Amino acid sequence: MGERRLRPWREDDVETVWLAFQDPHIQLWNGGGVASRTDALVLLGRRMDWSSGDHASWVLVEPAADEALASVSLHSIDRLQGDAEIGYWTAPAARGRGFAPAAVDAVCRWAFGALPVDRIELCHAVENTASRRVAEKAGFTYEGRLRRSYRYGDGVKHDELLWARLADDPAPG
What backbone torsions phi and psi does residue 11 show, to the nearest 5 degrees?
-60, -30
Q: Is 124 in the site for ligand COA (CB under 6 A)?
A: yes
Stretch that binds ligand COA, among 9-17, 34-42, 93-101, 139-147 (CB under 6 A): 93-101
Question: Within a 13 Å sphere around the CA of 116, how many CA atoms are in the beta-carbon half?
Answer: 7
For residue 71, how many other CB atoms are within 10 A of its CB? 25
The DSSP bridge pattern shows strands 157-166 and 119-125 to be antiparallel
Instruction: Name which position in 9, 13, 30, 108 contacts ligand COA (CB under 6 A).
Output: 30
Q: Is 32 in the site for ligand COA (CB under 6 A)?
A: no
In angstroms, what is the minimal distance from the CB of 59 to ligand COA? Answer: 13
Residue 30 or 57 with smaller CB distance to ligand COA? 30
Residues numbered 146-165 forming contacts with ligand COA, rule: CB under 6 A: none
Residues composing the chain: 173
Sign of CA dihedral 159, 144, 89, 114: positive
Instruction: Name which position in 26, 34, 86, 111 contacts ligand COA (CB under 6 A).
Output: 26
Taking CB positions, which residue lies at the least distance from ligand COA? 96
Q: CA 160 to CA 154: how far, in whole Å?
A: 15
Residues of the shown chain interacting with ligand COA in the complex, contacts defined by CB under 6 A:
25-26, 29-30, 70, 88-90, 95-101, 124, 128-131, 133-134, 137
